[in-house]
Structure 1
Amino acid sequence: MKTQLVSIFLIFMLCLYNCEKVPSTKDFILEEVDLIPEGVAVDSRTGIIYIGSTYKRKIVQITPDGTVSDFISQEQDSVWSILGMKVDAENGLLWVNTAHIHEVMPLINPLPNKDWLTTISVFDIEKKKLIKEYQLHEPKSAFNDLTIMPDGSIFATESANNEIYWISKKNDSLALFLALKDYRFPNGIEYVEKANALFVSTIQGILKIDMDSKKYQLLKERDTKHAKGIDGLTFYKDYFIGHQSSKISKFYVNEDFTEITKVELLDSGEDFDASTTGEVSKSDYYYIVNSQIQSGIDFKNRIIKPLDSLEKVIIRKKRLND
């Protein structure tokens, strides 16, 4: 009996030692410095990370061991710049927002066409094949981020005109869901089932949109307005994760999702350079540390800066504490 107890104790200590050795943060380094990435998606079944490139108009994939390859090659299927992305793991689909915003970033959208163009596109993950595109035929429009509903329907932010669009699983067609008044540049979007609401980041803060009534309100904040100008937005357990270029923060909310009760820093540092979006998979958070979407572009001359002045792209995986 004494020998068994000693063995159990040793096994416990060995497990404890090994657990302490498992890093809580892991960086994946992308050698293509001119990707200028914006969107992130993770397949919970395989652990593969998908990163969208605005400049090269392609999607790269990163396996859990760090192997990097193209999911779709540059300009494959004539895709435009890649923005928000999400994986529908149950159906093996990758949903992608694309846009050609000629007057704003003609370099990052290198097309001869001077029109604004935008789509929500869906790819078969296994076949790496474009299945369908839902193009918005409205002047000067740009889909930004998207979220997937439990039934497979899609909701997306359209940032240029302050609108929310959706693709109903039942009707399989693109339609306007809501035009926002008084709130500018809807960006990150997340559906939270226990609130039965969409949450959308805007210039002014985070909006809660009730799915049944379509009524919306800005989440209250108890002190300084920390939630302004959030880019990517994700929800985990009892807080939202929001990107604000040089930092990522956790925005805790009350039980009825009407107020931000506390804000904590999740990550920041010297490596950060326009951190845009991230994605929760299980208990890990995957995100772009340095997109260089501003610093990597010479906007005056509308060209990308010399490659030797750009940094390798860091995609970070960080364990979230329960």
Structure 2
Amino acid sequence: MNAPTLRSALLCLSLFAASCRATAPATAPAPETPVTPAPAADPLLQGLTRLAQSQPDNPVLLYAVASRHAERGEGPQAEQWLKKLDALNWDHALEPGDFEAWSATPEFRALAQRFASREKPVSASQPAFRLAERDLIPEGIAHDPVTDTFFVGSIHRRKVVAVSKDGTARDFIPEARDGLWSVLGLKVDATRRHLWVASHAAASGKGITADERGRTGLFQYDLRTGALLRKVTMDGRPGAHLLNDVAIHASGDVFVTDSEAGGVHVLRAGSDALAPLVPERTLIYPNGLALTEDGASLYVAHYTGLVRVDPATGALTRVQPPKGTTLAAVDGLSAHGRTLVAVQNGIGRGRIVRFHLGGDPDRVERVEVLESSNPSFETPTTGTITGSDFVYIANSHVREVGPEGKLPPVDSLSPPVLLRLAL
């Protein structure tokens, strides 16, 4: 659920691209006249380029290579790769922030206009509720069907806010209580009356110390009282793990993505320790995950696509998209009947999409855009199914947080808006 900036996703891609590095050429004779020094070697760019060349129809990789060139100040190369993306008739508007200073050039603006012209605005969402604290930086949301209460987690304020059906908000878990770090994924276990919280010591978390950074864990709370029932943490190696989104099986098993490690863990009912379900370094920044209604399949979104996992064995298959579409760059993921509702925010401007599954659980038959070009969008992140509606965070502002966790001036942030979309 933690929406990655493109930079953080690229860093994860680099772990997979490292094996694609080009072999250094043999030393050439020194030239007789001075020449302009070549740009410094960039193993990440080299690996990404090779991946993109091997998958020329993968829009996420084309976008990533273009962004990396722009970050390096290489406008002509960035333009070249965006033209490859344009040739695929990509219909997702570009996010200027992914292209650094180059986004101010006429070349970028011309391409951005072409992409934006293809992204047909879809507007079907209605206001659900609004929260007052501008610096909440909300990321995860869950719903308790028993009390009709929503729970919204805060990255910056390190707390969980409960919102009743009349829109009244209160702190369900106050700031940093129980050692809670930044709040990412949330899930309600309505049967057992528990709230599960994935938490990570992010640099943007209020009061997070340097020694805490990178710590991550699962927190289990009593829905009736708010009392902490259990806290299961990963090892404290900086950057080794990032527990992100949560799914709960009818059996009581709890599944959680580990975005930094590239895997999925499971806390089996009755166990006090997380165990690997999908091994580390299998996926590129795994994020949202959702169990089908029968509990037979666990769908996991990662930066370059979607996989289906057997919750019992961890057996994994890659889900195939319809031609000319992508299942990649998804943050929040929810199951609804034979469909998956996804917040696609990893590249371009955010949008809400629905993946229609057919008879083959490993193939999406159709990708439907449910909401796009919404003026309230400032990096939508995650949502939750409530009956036949999808309620989601429209403006998390996570991309406006600086690389060292510094927030912009509070007055520049809009109050958190939650929208409701009929399914």
TM-score (normalizing by structure 1): 0.86
C-alpha distance after superposition, 1:76-122 (max 9, x if no partner): 11210000000011111100000114xxxx23364223342011110
2: CA distance between counterparts of 1:212 and 1:293?
34
Matches within 5 A, 1:304-315: 304-315=407-418
Q: Does 1:285 align with 2:390?
A: yes
Answer whether contact 1:195 1:256 (CA < 8 A) is retained: no
Matches within 5 A, 1:250-269: 250-268=354-372, 269=374
Matches within 5 A, 1:1-322: 25-101=126-202, 106-108=203-205, 110-114=207-211, 115-137=213-235, 139=237, 140-179=240-279, 181-194=281-294, 196-245=296-345, 246-268=350-372, 269-295=374-400, 297-299=401-403, 302-320=405-423
The one-letter amino acid of 2:356's match is: Y
C-alpha distance after superposition, 1:162-198 (max 9, x if no partner): 1111111133432222215553001001111447121
SS at match of 2:161: strand
The gaps in structure 1 that reach 5 residues or longer are: 1-22
2: CA distance between counterparts of 1:266 and 1:110?
38
The one-letter amino acid of 2:210's match is: N
1: CA distance between counterparts of 2:283 and 2:274?
22
Answer whether contact 1:88 1:94 (CA < 8 A) is retained: yes
Instruction: Give the match for residue 14 of structure 1.
Output: none
2: CA distance between counterparts of 1:181 and 1:310?
36
Change (3 A) 1:212 1:57: closer
2: CA distance between counterparts of 1:221 and 1:180?
24
Answer whether contact 1:232 1:276 (CA < 8 A) is retained: yes
The one-letter amino acid of 1:113's match is: A
Instruction: Give the match for residue 20 of structure 2.
Output: none
Answer whether contact 2:297 2:311 (CA < 8 A) is retained: yes
Count of residue pairs the alignment pairs up: 292
Answer whether contact 1:195 1:257 (CA < 8 A) is retained: no
The one-letter amino acid of 1:133's match is: K
Q: What is the CA distance between 1:309 and its match in structure 2? A: 0.5
Range that drifts further, 266-275 or 110-119: 110-119
- Give the alignment's Cα RMSD to 1 decimal: 1.8
1: CA distance between counterparts of 2:220 and 2:126?
31
The one-letter amino acid of 2:221's match is: F
Change (3 A) 1:59 1:284: same
SS at match of 1:199: strand
Name the structure with the higher strand share. 1
| Divergent runs of 4+, >4 A | none
The one-letter amino acid of 2:422's match is: R
Answer whether contact 1:286 1:315 (CA < 8 A) is retained: yes
Q: What is the CA distance between 1:281 and its match in structure 2? A: 2.0
The one-letter amino acid of 1:309's match is: S
2: CA distance between counterparts of 1:214 and 1:78?
31
Identical columns (%): 28
Instruction: Give the match for residue 94 of structure 2.
Output: none
Q: What is the CA distance between 1:257 and its match in structure 2? A: 0.9
Answer whether contact 2:277 2:313 (CA < 8 A) is retained: no
Answer whether contact 2:293 2:337 (CA < 8 A) is retained: no
1: CA distance between counterparts of 2:338 and 2:325?
19
Answer whether contact 1:164 1:176 (CA < 8 A) is retained: yes
Instruction: Give the match for residue 3 of structure 1.
Output: none
Answer whether contact 2:155 2:204 (CA < 8 A) is retained: no
Answer whether contact 1:191 1:199 (CA < 8 A) is retained: yes
C-alpha distance after superposition, 1:282-314 (max 9, x if no partner): 22211101100112x233x64211111110110
2: CA distance between counterparts of 1:279 and 1:46?
15
2: CA distance between counterparts of 1:151 and 1:182?
26
C-alpha distance after superposition, 1:227-274 (max 9, x if no partner): 111000101011101112311101101123111111111123111111
Change (3 A) 1:206 1:37: same
SS at match of 1:220: coil
Answer whether contact 1:273 1:291 (CA < 8 A) is retained: yes
SS at match of 1:224: coil
The one-letter amino acid of 1:124's match is: D
SS at match of 1:316: strand
TM-score (normalizing by structure 2): 0.66
